[in-house]
Amino acid sequence: MARTYEYNVKMSCGGCASTIKEAVNGKPGVKSIDIALETQTVTVVTDDEVTFDIVPAMIKQAGKEVQGGKLVVREA
């Protein structure tokens, strides 16, 4: 199973996006990450064992502010 989460993250530049990508990409259970600086959204596809709250914790640990999010897709 896979889950796709979308988070609203305050970002002001490409450096912010790179910091977030480094904080999340390659972590256990993370399949992919897509960052849209224009819309300030971070979309993450994970294995089923990665819960909604895990990704924001990774982002916050990198010093960035998560302003909300949602589960977009849960695949069987």
pLDDT, one tens digit for every residue, the chain (76 residues): 899 999 999 999 999 999 999 999 999 999 999 999 999 999 999 999 999 999 999 999 999 999 999 999 887 6
Query: What pLDDT is recorded for position 10?
Result: 94
Fold classification of 2-75 is: Alpha-Beta Plaits (3.30.70)
What's the whole-model pTM score?
0.92
56 within 8 A of 30, measured Cβ to Cβ:
no
Domain boundaries in the chain?
2-75
Question: Residue 14: what pLDDT?
Answer: 94
| pLDDT at 73 (0 to 100) | 84
Q: Which residues, including other chains, have CB under 8 Å from residue 8's CB and lie 6 or more apart?
A: 40, 41, 66, 67, 68, 69
Q: Strand order of the sheet with strand 30-36?
A: 30-36, 41-47, 2-9, 66-75
Token pair, residue 70, equals 């949602």
